[in-house]
Amino acid sequence: MLDGLDDIDWSALDGAYGPCTAAPDILRAIASGDPEAAGEGRYEFASSIWHQGTVYPATAEVIPFLVELAITPGVHRRDHLLRTLGALRPRAGRR
């Protein structure tokens, strides 16, 4: 799961607070079998990769990984990931 995650230069992709070097850890947390860790990962995703509905370069790069997690049995709150994927779109006047 999450093949290719470490092949991406996350330091070259901005999130809400600059280079999104935490993206791999956030996605791994979402994939965690521990519900608390997965919840923390979803919180961090909303805080730094898709903050207040803004789509950043890092946001676009995580989409294939979110799709993978959303269709993987055993991933916590897959329904939440599907809703998130459905809501991802650039806001007018934003990036």
Q: What is the pLDDT of residues 28-38, one digit of tens each?
A: 999 999 999 99
* Residue 95's pLDDT band (cuts 50, 70, 90): very low
* Residue 43's pLDDT band (cuts 50, 70, 90): very high
Number of domains comprising the chain: 1
Question: Is residue 92 domain-resident?
Answer: no
**Around Cβ 21, how many Cβ atoms within 10 Å?**
14
Full domain range(s) for residue 69: 9-87
Q: Which of 44, 41, 29, 33 is nearest to 76 (CA)?
A: 33
pLDDT, tens only, 57-76? 999 999 999 999 999 999 99
Q: Give the pLDDT mean for 76-92.
A: 83
Vertex 28: Cα angle to 41 and 6 (nearest 5): 130
Question: Is residue 67 domain-resident?
Answer: yes
